[in-house]
Amino acid sequence: MIKITLPDNSVKEFSGPVTGMEIAQSISPRLAKDVLSVSVNGEIWDLTRKITDDATVKLHTWNDREGKEAFWHSSAHLMAEAIEYFYPGTKFGIGPTVDVGFYYDIALPDNQQLTEKDLQKIEKKMLELARQKNDIVRQEISKKDAMEMFTKKHDELKQELIGELEDGTITLYNQGNFTDLCRGPHLPNTGYIKAIKLTSIAGAYWRGNEKNQMLTRVYGVTFPKQKMLEEYLVMLEEAKKRDHRKLGKEMELFAFSDAVGQGLPLWLPKGTQLRMQLEDFLKKVQRMYGYDQVITPHIGDVKLYKTSGHYQKYGKDSFQPITTPAEGEEYMLKPMNCPHHCEIYKVKPHSYKDLPIRMAEFGTVYRYEQSGELHGLTRVRGFTQDDAHIFCRPDQLKDEFKKVIDIIFIIFKALSFDNYTAQISLRDPKNPDKYIGTAENWDKAERAIIEACEEKGLNTITETGEAAFYGPKLDFMIKDALGRSWQLGTIQVDYNLPERFELEYIGADDKRHRPVMIHRAPFGSMERFVAVLIEHTAGKFPLWLTPDQAVVLPISEKYNEYAEKVSNLLNNSDIRTLVDDRNEKIGRKIRDNELKRIPYLLIVGEKEEESETVSVRRQGEGDLGVKQVGEFADLVAAEVREQLSGLYN
Write out the E strands in 61-213: 91-92, 102-107, 137-142, 169-175, 178-181, 195-205
Active-site residue, from 310, 381, 519, 528: 519
- Separation between Cα atoms, residue 459 and residue 447, nearest integer Å: 16
338 noted as active-site residue: yes
- Separation between Cα atoms, residue 197 and residue 220, nearest integer Å: 6
Residue 386 CB-density burial (10 A; 0-12 exposed, 13-18 middle, 19+ buried): buried
Active-site residue, from 159, 175, 286, 385: 385
Give the three-class secondary structure for 539. coil
Active-site residue, from 387, 475, 480, 494: 387
73 annotated among ligand-binding-site residues: no
Phi, psi of 487 (to 5 degrees): -90, 115
392 annotated among ligand-binding-site residues: no
| Secondary structure of 72-111 in HEC code, one letter for each residue | HHHHHHHHHHHHHHHCCCCEECCCCECCCCEEEEEECHHH
Active-site residue, from 60, 68, 244, 473: 473
Q: What pairing do the DSSP bridges indicate for beta strands 55-60 and 2-5?
A: parallel
**Sheet strand arrangement including 292-293:** 292-293, 357-366, 382-392, 516-521, 485-494, 473-479, 420-426, 460-464
State the DSSP code for 517: E
Identify the H or E element spanning 183: none
558 noted as active-site residue: no
Q: CA 233 → CA 179, 228, 230, 478, 548, distances in Å?
A: 30, 9, 5, 21, 33
Which residues have CB under 8 Å from 630's CB, separation 6+? none
389 annotated among ligand-binding-site residues: yes
C-alpha torsion angle, residues 124, 126, 128, 132 (rounded to 10): -170
Active-site residue, from 182, 338, 342, 392: 338
**Sheet strand arrangement including 322-323:** 299-301, 330-333, 322-323
- Separation between Cα atoms, residue 367 and residue 544, nearest integer Å: 32
- Separation between Cα atoms, residue 269 and residue 324, nearest integer Å: 35
240 noted as active-site residue: no
Active-site residue, from 242, 313, 358, 367: 367
77 noted as active-site residue: no
367 noted as active-site residue: yes
Q: What pairing do the DSSP bridges indicate for beta strands 516-521 and 512-513?
A: unpaired
Which residues line the annotated binding site? 338, 389, 519
- Binding site for Zn(2+), by residue number, is 338, 389, 519
Which positions are annotated as active-site residues?
Answer: 338, 367, 385, 387, 389, 473, 519
